[in-house]
Amino acid sequence: MKVTKTSTIQYYDEPCTLEVTTGPSRERDGRRKGSRVYVSLPWSPEELPYTGITRVPPYGVKGENAANDLEWKRYNRKEVTMQMDVIKRAIRGGLIAASVVGSKHSRYAGCSMCPCSPGWIWKDGTQHYNSLSIWITVKSPKKEAQEEKKRKAFTVQTEIEAPSFSI
């Protein structure tokens, strides 16, 4: 059974909703080594003036360009820092256990085969060990309004460009 708790927080000069949903892990075979915590933010580091990041680094093959690799490392580190900040806010709000702050970030938290669902591995040593999935989501009314405006503009543009058929 999933349990959802919410709180209002001030995040980057904007009132936001912090939503924490806790539920059982879908893995039942015992291979998992700790509960998982996933953090979803409405912003990327380049969208916030406080991060020091102004753009997404160019995509490339790791190891081919040392400067680009360093830029990606900085970018990813900032994302992880932003997520840990949200985890700490959820703890301060009483939405999750304080021991979650000791979690280890892993690109392979949700899928051991590829880095498709990064998250935090939480080993709290209690009865919930290996059994929980925790989703922490920050919802920004301003960002949601911007995304809705983009969706509407895309829909209008798609309708204009779509071929018309007459019978």
For residue 53, is it within any domain? yes
Residues shown for the chain: 167
Number of domains in the chain: 1
Tell me: pLDDT of 110 over 90: no
Task: Give the model's pLDDT for residue 58.
Answer: 92
Q: Which of 1, 49, 59 is nearest to 25 (CA)?
A: 1
Task: Give the model's pLDDT for residue 30.
Answer: 55
For residue 70, is it within any domain? yes
Q: Which of 88, 46, 34 is nearest to 71 (CA)?
A: 46
Strand-pair partners of 104: 121
Q: Are 128 and 22 in contact (CB under 8 A)?
A: no
**End-to-end Cα distance, the chain:** 52
Task: Give the model's pLDDT for residue 32.
Answer: 62
Buried b (16+ CB within 10 A) or exposed e, 36-53: bbbbebbbebeebeebeb
For residue 136, is it within any domain? yes
Give the chain's mean pLDDT. Answer: 85
Task: Give the model's pLDDT for residue 152.
Answer: 92
For residue 163, is it within any domain? no
Spacing of C-alpha 68 from chain mean position: 23
For residue 110, is it within any domain? yes
For residue 27, is it within any domain? yes
For residue 157, is it within any domain? no
For residue 153, is it within any domain? no
Q: Cα–Cα distance between 34 and 69 in angstroms, integer?
A: 30
CB neighbour list of residue 127: distance below 8 Å, 6 or more residues apart: none
Residue 132 CB neighbours (<10 A): 21
Tell me: pLDDT of 29 over 60: no
Give the domain range for residue 92.
3-140
Task: Give the model's pLDDT for residue 128.
Answer: 53
